[in-house]
Amino acid sequence: MSDQRKWVTMGDVARHAGVGTITVSRALRTPAKVSADTLKKVHKAVAALGYVRDDTAGALSSQRSRIVGALVSTLEQPVFASTIRGLEEGLRQGGLQLLLGSTRYQPDTEARMVSTLLGRRPDALILTSTTHTDETRRLLDNAGLPVVELWELPRDPVFAAVGFSNRAAGRDMVRHLVGSGRDRPAFLRTARASDTRADLREQGYRDALDGRAPRILAVPPHEDDSGPDYGARGLAQVLDRWPDTDALVCVSDALAVGAWCEAMRRGIEIPRRLAITGFGDIDIAGASGIGLTTVRVDGEAIGREAARLTIAATAGAPVQDRIIDLGYTLRVRATG
Amino acid sequence: MSDQRKWVTMGDVARHAGVGTITVSRALRTPAKVSADTLKKVHKAVAALGYVRDDTAGALSSQRSRIVGALVSTLEQPVFASTIRGLEEGLRQGGLQLLLGSTRYQPDTEARMVSTLLGRRPDALILTSTTHTDETRRLLDNAGLPVVELWELPRDPVFAAVGFSNRAAGRDMVRHLVGSGRDRPAFLRTARASDTRADLREQGYRDALDGRAPRILAVPPHEDDSGPDYGARGLAQVLDRWPDTDALVCVSDALAVGAWCEAMRRGIEIPRRLAITGFGDIDIAGASGIGLTTVRVDGEAIGREAARLTIAATAGAPVQDRIIDLGYTLRVRATG
DNA sequence: CCGCTTTGTGGTATCGATACCATTAGTTGC
DNA sequence: GCAACTAATGGTATCGATACCACAAAGCGG
């Protein structure tokens, strides 16, 4: 940390280069509108002074912050890692910057963060959730900016959505299990109040039961417990309650991996005695030693597509498809 | 997305409440300086108009953005998840907001992102890396703001650092293995050009060899390969090259879990025939089925401590300890 | 060589909140 | 009862970049 010296301003650069401030602005923002000669002078001055433009001031005068706020449900699990990567890269190409936050699946946290984010006057907002408090919904509606919701396909998106049908995916997975002879599948999830994606997958599970009695276990949230811990606890409780369960459909890969570990510890043969499936296809799911059967979602594509939509919308281009379904793939591996 | 209606300004709120704009500013920023009566009027007006303050404008005039930029090496693995959580919570209590980015272990990406971040005039910067390009270092030195580096203890921090000794941790882990009879430990890492933490842990491994021949394998980075994939490939290559290896010290938990899976697939007995250790103690490491022996790092504490330091520094308080060592714990579990 | 467009450049007002200073009313001390 | 203070509030300049308009010079067709 150096001394209290103030920042170099655009005016300083202009003086040093012998041009007007506005020319410096153009040289940096729209180089095509400036002569090659002037451009060189400006760049030299910028380098000499170590100038870094104040985008905060730029945002104020242009009424465009070039910031896109994004709120993901969790950063603890890598589910959204690829989506964030896709988003970040896509937005960067459009000259936009990602302002990231995590809601931890709590609607009130989401409300607070949306409010904070709006204070930075982002050009758009991206949310990996479609369940909002009334307060949040009001803020979003009044903000007058594009809002893109991810990983689901809400019936009435605030503005647009990119995702897939969680319900269909859940249904397909259970059908696959039933089709390969599993007759008593159980569904394992965490008991979170507003995890719409989990609700939808559970609904898909019910859809596919076809008259069989549902075996649904919602592990209560517990301080300091992580995904795999829930999975291990969940498996124990499921077997406790329904000992003859022959397939465990987990709402996420993190849970599935935890359940798998617990099964290994107990010496339960997988998949002969018990099939285990996950959701998301995170990196570890594919590890050869586990080989988790799961639903693959192309998170990076979701991110890229959301970025494309966002760039188009902020540029004022008309957006045709407001609900984009990118689908999913059943990835059948060793565990079921 | 609603129509093109402009944002409500502080002036609008002031008019609606029948007070001056500056009073509204004070009511929201320093309520103590405003009478209870006025406060109520202002809040009512804010609610009625759905006002959200423009922090961008506030930052410009007060020369304090209340933003702290943070760059982590990766978001793909949950190593830094707890650190981010600690940071975010700590900063929020100090009225600061986290602007998050990922460098993907690439110094040039870091340079680009530092520059972009500085354009938002953050009050401080936080980096989970101590290896910077000359360009980055110059920017940081000239920026005149507190820079806190995490997860390492550099000799000459830009401003301050919060972390632990990666070298000592690596050394302790290997000493533990050697002490329990492992005579031919190998070290597995990814071959990334600028992963200082990996370098230090490797150094620790060498320290503890005590005359034994080093067996170091750096898996070359490969497009689309994730942590566990590297681990699996790495185990294969290590056993190929040094078949009698009896302990595999992995530079991260992600690698260790992948190696563990591959070992399971090959029917290698763990830990009898081969010990496997990781680094970081991510959630899955503790899962009972794996029980990975690893180095536990209290990431959340690092985040909280960094937040405390940052708040103090931005408030102009004198900072005494610029290098804070939070230590680590050897967590011996089933795999070694 | 004259109107016309195109290209390059600069001056000035502006974005919205806050710093700074001024003002008023009320309170305290002697 | 008056100076000296505090509490509460408002007016105005300011932060740094960009929008908008103006203008000069160059290119160009006839």
* CATH code, domain with A316: 3.40.50.2300
Q: How do residues A124-178 score in pLDDT, each as one tens digit?
A: 999 998 888 998 998 998 888 999 999 999 998 999 999 999 999 999 999 999 9
Q: C-alpha distances in angstroms, B61 versus B30, B56, B125, B154, B316?
A: 16, 9, 21, 36, 19
For residue A287, give the nearest of B115, B120, B228 by CB distance: B228
Indicate whether B304 and B157 sit together in one domain. yes
Distance B14 CA to D5 C1' (A): 29
Query: Is-contact B122 B148, C-beta < 8 A?
Result: no
CA A237 to chain centroid: 30
Contact B122, B69 (CB under 8 A): yes
Of residues A1, A84, A289, nearest to B264 (C-beta): A289
Is A113 among the domain residues?
Answer: yes
Statement to judge: residues B208 and B272 lie in one domain = yes
Residue B3 lies in a domain: no
Residue A270 lies in a domain: yes
Residue pair B102/B75 in contact (Cβ under 8 Å)? The answer is yes
Residues B28 and B85 in one domain: no
* Same domain, yes or no: B69 and B79: yes
Number of H helices, E strands in chain B: 12, 12
Mean pLDDT over B48-62 rounds to 94
Determine, yes or no, domain membership for B246.
Answer: yes
| Best mutation target, A79, A87, A120, A235, to test chain B (most B CBs within 10 A) | A120
Q: How many Å does it take to go from CA A194 to C1' C14?
A: 44
Q: Work out if A21's Cβ lies within 7 angstroms of strand C.
A: yes
Calculate mean pLDDT across residues A7-15.
Answer: 93
> Does residue A204 share a domain with residue A269?
yes
Residues B130 and B159 in one domain: yes
Q: What percent of chain B has pLDDT over 90?
A: 72
Q: What is the pLDDT of residue A224?
A: 65
B289 backbone dihedrals φ, ψ, rounded to 5°: -70, -30
The mean per-residue pLDDT over the stretch A173-185 comes to 96
- Whether the CB of A236 is below 8 Å from some CB of chain B: the reply is no
Identify all chain B residues contacting A146, using CB atoms and an 8 Å cutoff. Answer: 1
The verdict on B267 and B202 lying in the same domain is yes
Q: Are residues B178 and B292 in the same domain?
A: yes
**pLDDT tens-digit readout, B239-264:** 999 999 999 999 999 999 999 988 98
Find residues 126-165 of chain B whose CB sits inside 8 Å of chain A: 138-139, 141-147, 158-159
Residues B214, B255: one domain? yes
Determine contact: A71 vs chain B, CB below 8 A.
no
Q: Say if residue A47's pLDDT is above 90.
A: yes
Contacts of B287 in chain A (CB under 8 A): 228-229, 231-232, 257-258, 261-262
Taking 70 as the threshold, does the pLDDT of residue A82 lie above it? yes
3-state DSSP percent of chain A in helix, strand and coil, to 5: 45, 15, 40
Q: Is A333 within the bounds of a domain?
A: no
CA of B314 to C1' of D20 (A): 38
pLDDT of residue B2: 38
Q: What is the pLDDT of residue A145?
A: 92
Nucleotides of D under 7 A from a protein CB: 7-20
Total domains in the fold of chain A: 3
Residues A122 and A97 in one domain: yes
Choice among A42-51, A206-215, A216-225, B275-284 with the minimum mean pLDDT? A216-225
B74 to chain A: closest CA residue: A81
Average pLDDT, chain B: 91
Touching B: A residues 197-216, CB under 8 Å: none
Which DSSP string do the residues of A27-70 spell out, in sequence order?
HHH-GGGS-HHHHHHHHHHHHHHT----HHHHHHHHS---EEEE
Residue A294: pLDDT over 50 = yes
User: CA A325 → CA A9, A89, A149, A299, A317, distances in Å?
Assistant: 46, 21, 12, 12, 20
CB distance B58 to B30 below 8 Å: no
Residue B7 Cα, gap to closest chain A Cα (Å):
8
The share of chain A scoring above pLDDT 90, in percent, equals 72
Pair B204, B283 in one domain: yes
Q: What is the mean pLDDT of residues A245-263?
A: 93
A2, B142: Cβ pair inside 8 Å? Answer: yes
Tens of pLDDT, residues B149-191: 999 999 989 999 999 999 999 999 999 999 999 999 999 999 9
Q: The domain spanning residue B15 has which CATH number?
A: 1.10.260.40
Residue B5 lies in a domain: no
**Is residue B334, in this structure, part of any structural domain at all?**
no
User: By residue range, what is the domain housing residue B122?
Assistant: 64-164+299-327
Q: Which among A78, A262, A81, A263 is positioned nearest to B282, based on CA atoms?
A: A78
- B282 in the same domain as B227: yes
